[in-house]
Structure 1
């Protein structure tokens, strides 16, 4: 009898244990939901993140204090969604940025996410140091198709994607309306609307406006020879020239078309229609009839200048117009300690909502943001129509300035020989031949 009693007690205890572990259909396990409901509702990303180990990501930038503050705010917003992830924003001065990034990449101490410009991309992409982030194309929530295709080309190689742009400002012509009116000239925008805005007309206007004895000049392309690529490349393109061949294996500037472009620029200097190379003269002084600059300069001039001004598209050359766009993007280094988490943060700061916030400082890469009423009507001047005609509508056909892993050495050779041309110590044709001989070996 005692034996049967023990067996019965064991069965009761076993049933009680099973009941406690499995429960019945009404058991909510302390969640307020039945077991069936719990089985069909996986934890949210926020809840799941709370159980993960702490992660610290680092993002390097070269931006201003205001820009850094914005990214710090985005990092805080991200932390609310992912409490275990902390993002630190590190500032590296622009002058040292590429060199320091290269050293950190070589020593595997680089930040996880980096700002990167078009000049830097070939060095790190061709060196196999950037992470392939092509998976963003398949993320429906990210809406990759919203990104303007022309702004992605610098990050594309062999069917893979190595970054996302955040700043894609096209180049425009700023012009001083007062100086044009004082000299009885049609403005660049008026000439554009008539279909007559060409480099020939730009030269005529520059010569008419210039009064070098009063410190007034018709146009400014570049500050000095070392930044020739900023504004001489679009002139070279407009005349039918190129910097490299299509696969950047040969120097392509040694042509009559490029010579014509350089000689046009030299002619402006010789006639004192352009400030002397190295002269510190900026558009906001009111002493320049025109200045070729990125459209983002509009924000600096709105509250700074005390004369009437506006913007216009780039003029046409013998081969039309090839619109250059500036470039800044986000990339992830392949050696990042947390590549998956870094990619999630990259998607967060470049999604539609946050691209709109970043657009406070930069021309957005997303079409939905670029043409949103909020962005277009943010400032009363220049007018929405002018901004569209001169800049935004041209982004789709924009071209990122060419670069190469050996760009620093290439740039040095072009600068040296361009100086020789402008000083008159050699002819344009001779200098282009010297450039070709010295630069082609750098492209191998």
Structure 2
């Protein structure tokens, strides 16, 4: 019932938003207060956003306030659509890649004009445009990589990922073996898929991509959970959790950044958590799978809500927030979609904790080969249905193939609509 309510809320909110502009969007000449919903509460992120906003207001005195409104990442889209449905739509909003198809196709967003649009890499904007128009700026196009605690790995008598890469042996089979040895030898956690927590299943794209698996076909019409690549990937993952103890099981949450796990899969925006690290660490690409090397990208766009109170003024601020100069500043945490900025040297200037070669191999090369995390229209209901259908998988005696077949039984009618 909850997932149906959440899906209905998203659908109704977007229909309401698409019906027309806000009451005050023509009043940009008077005092304007802008609000952007975001999901980060990181103090460094907020300081950067506020500094850009302060500079903008110096030349736009009619904009009296620009507020960044943090909503919890776990319920972000629900929180955003609740605001919209309640008549309290923000002026601008971050949008997750998994809900992009719904927002873009609904007409809920204002078409954007982007300074230096010719510099945008076409593959980064694909998800955010329709009819030749861009409806959200993909400010974060961030491949997943693996942060590594070399001290724990050496303590367990294992080769580090860098050594395995040099020997052309950095594979999922080796990665699971190293993490199992760390857990057995040190009692610490092995590999943590950050923000997965046995709930956010689409983060596992960073794992199953190595098997060439996908939750559904490219056209979105056929379920892929029961296909052999997914069965093989999830069988290996299940074994890593419950047999080999290479991956922490349900109900456990070792913190890699506190030194309590050997590896974590996440994006470079987390690197700031290693600023005062007491252990030796590295950042490496995802391990190769049976289908070879691959990349997975998490994306986020910023859009102007058509139903916001100050759509015109919001579009003006977004154009400034995402211009080449500010995109370079945002690149410290959020890899930009601009080709001119995607060089190892440029990214290193704003990411002093990361080496140019790490940025090249994980970020730049990852964008060149990566696929964006799965998304689909009707994502809210679809995602909740998949999550519930996967719940039986997270038990030691689960029949992986049967559970994945059950996922398809549940979602195939939804995909076929």
TM-score class, shorter-chain normalisation, is 0.7 to 0.9
Tell me if structure 2 keeps the 8 A contact 1:150–1:397.
no
Residue matched to 1:171: 144
C-alpha distance in 2 between matches for 1:165 and 1:74: 18
Q: CA deviation at 1:315?
A: 0.9
Residues in 2 aligned to 1:234 and 1:99: alpha-carbon distance in whole angstroms: 24
Question: Matched residue of 2:283: which SS?
Answer: strand
Q: Deviations over 1:151-197 (max 9, x none)?
A: 22221234332110222221111122123333443321222233221
Within 5 A, what are the aligned runs for 1:13-92? 52-64=29-41, 65-92=43-70
The answer for unaligned runs of 5 or more in structure 1 is 1-50, 137-141
Q: Is the 8 A contact 1:175 1:309 kept in 2?
A: yes
Stretch of structure 1 that moved more, 349-358 or 331-340: 331-340
Structure 2, gaps ≥5 residues long: 1-27
Aligned-pair CA distance for 1:198: 1.3
TM-score (norm 2): 0.84
Q: What residue number does 1:328 align with?
A: 300
Write the deviation string for residues 244-284 of structure 1: whole angstroms up to 9, x where unpaired: 11122332211111011001111111222222222020113
| Aligned-partner Cα distance in 1 for 2:346–2:229 | 42
SS of the counterpart of 2:303? strand
Counterpart in 1 of 2:213?
241
Query: Is contact 2:208-2:233 (8 Å) kept?
Result: yes
Decide whether the 8 Å contact of 1:377 with 1:384 is kept in 2.
no
> How far 1:360 sits from its partner (Å)?
3.7
Contact 2:146 2:265 survives alignment (8 Å): yes
Mapped to 2, the partners of 1:252 and 1:191 lie a distance apart of 31
| 2:244 maps to 1:271 | yes
> What is the aligned-residue RMSD (CA, Å)?
2.5
2:183 corresponds to 1:205: no
The total of aligned residue pairs comes to 385
Deviations 1:45-87 (A, max 9, x none): xxxxxx9444443322233244334333323322222333344
Q: TM-score, normalised by structure 1?
A: 0.79
Contact 1:179 1:209 in 2 (8 A): yes
Q: 1:159 aligned to 2:138?
A: no
Does residue 292 of the first structure (1) align with residue 285 of the second (2)?
no
2:10 alignment counterpart:
none
In structure 2, distance between residues paired with 1:338 and 1:307: 48
Alignment-derived partner of residue 354 in structure 1 = 326
Shift in Å at residue 428 of structure 1? 1.3
- Separation in 2 of the partners of 1:284 and 1:337? 41
